[in-house]
């Protein structure tokens, strides 16, 4: 097993081309993956195989899609103040599935959202454009679509602009290193997300990709009966293999680990230079 999990951000648009626009890149990549004999499958298929150590022939040539931070552009079109109308990631998946149903018959993506209403509002106003991109009203529709799952990206992303984040500990997730903090960021987040989306999240994506020993080796494995997560995803640019540990599942991030289609071809063909 050597599976790349890809990560896109729908709200961070830094240019009008492939390198800086996840909408544009995703639309391109769906065709590119198919051309290279790859098929997008749900994250749950890979994690099931990993946890049960069970071969699954459907994972040959599999690629997984994930979206981070949970702006509504994961699911709906947005109008970007600088770069204009963007189609939204789910509409791109839907359109590709309509035009090329044979490419990815199990097309699916996991959207990692932030639980706290106040944190999302704060990020929308202080880090984005105050255009209501961080709402949660689309979560149930996304779940109902069958093509997007709503998963957890923590309580408040430990974003320094959010109230309640201890001064000097924000904009990173390494500082979440006690039971109380972890339980808030992970268990409380799961409960809160489930209340809106209608389904308890199963997967966690570390904000900023930051994983520490406490979370990886103590909190996640030791308190699974409380948080009920099945795996946690980092942003280490590696493949999922039989050796992958469920609390540090690697991912490749668009705009960071690949910025052009050629680099993605290297990744999906197992030739990414791994650090």
Binder to Zn ion among 69, 74, 124, 156 (CB under 5 A)?
A: 69
CB of 111 to Zn ion, least distance (A): 12
Measured in residues, the chain has a length of: 275
Angle at 6 between CA 136 and CA 61, to 5 degrees: 130
Could you tell me the two tokens for 2? 């050597």
Which one, 157 or 227, has the nearer CB to Zn ion? Answer: 157
CB of 153 to Zn ion, least distance (A): 6
Stretch that binds Zn ion, among 51-59, 174-182, 207-215, 218-226 (CB under 5 A): 207-215
Which one, 207 or 237, has the nearer CB to Zn ion? Answer: 207
- Distance of CA 25 to CAs 65, 112, 206, Å? 12, 19, 23
Burial class (CB in 10 A: 0-12, 13-18, 19+), 195: exposed
Burial class (CB in 10 A: 0-12, 13-18, 19+), 167: exposed
Which one, 170 or 261, has the nearer CB to Zn ion? Answer: 170
List the interface residues with Zn ion, window 102-161 (CB under 5 A): none
Question: What is d(CA 215, CA 79) in angstroms, rounded to the nearest whole number?
Answer: 37
Binding mask 156-195 for Zn ion (x = CB under 5 A): ----------------------------------------
Binding mask 29-48 for Zn ion (x = CB under 5 A): --------------------
- 74 forms part of the interface with Zn ion (CB under 5 A): no
Could you tell me the two tokens for 104? 């990815």
Question: What is d(CA 94, CA 117) in angstroms, rounded to the nearest whole number?
Answer: 28
Which one, 173 or 247, has the nearer CB to Zn ion? Answer: 173
Which one, 68 or 124, has the nearer CB to Zn ion? Answer: 68
Query: Where on the chain is the footprint of Zn ion (CB under 5 A)?
Result: 68-69, 207
């Amino acid at each position: 097993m050597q599976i790349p999990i890809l990560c896109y951000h729908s709200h961070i648009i830094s240019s009008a081309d492939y390198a800086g626009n996840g909408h544009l890149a995703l639309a391109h990549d769906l065709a590119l993956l198919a051309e290279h004999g790859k098929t997008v499958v749900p994250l749950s298929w890979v994690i099931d195989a990993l946890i049960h150590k069970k071969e699954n022939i459907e994972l040959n040539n599999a690629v997984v899609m994930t979206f981070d931070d949970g702006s509504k552009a994961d699911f709906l079109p947005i109008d970007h103040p600088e770069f204009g109308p963007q189609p939204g990631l789910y509409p791109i998946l839907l359109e590709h599935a309509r035009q090329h149903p044979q490419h990815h018959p199990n097309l699916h993506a996991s959207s990692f959202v932030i639980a706290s209403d106040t944190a999302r509002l704060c990020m929308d106003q202080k880090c984005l454009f105050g255009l209501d991109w961080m709402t949660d009203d689309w979560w149930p529709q996304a779940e109902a679509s069958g093509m997007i799952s709503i998963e957890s990206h923590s309580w408040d992303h430990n974003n320094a602009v959010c109230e309640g984040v201890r001064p000097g500990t924000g904009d990173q997730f390494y500082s979440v290193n006690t039971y109380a903090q972890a339980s808030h960021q992970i268990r409380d987040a799961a409960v809160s997300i489930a209340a809106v989306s209608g389904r308890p999240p199963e997967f966690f994506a570390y904000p900023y990709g930051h994983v520490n020993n406490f979370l990886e080796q103590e909190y996640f494995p030791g308190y699974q009966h409380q948080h009920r997560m099945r795996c946690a995803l980092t942003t280490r640019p590696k493949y999922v293999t039989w050796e992958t540990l469920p609390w540090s599942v690697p991912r490749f991030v668009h705009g960071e680990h690949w910025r052009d289609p050629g680099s993605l071809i290297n990744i999906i063909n197992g030739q990414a230079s791994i650090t």
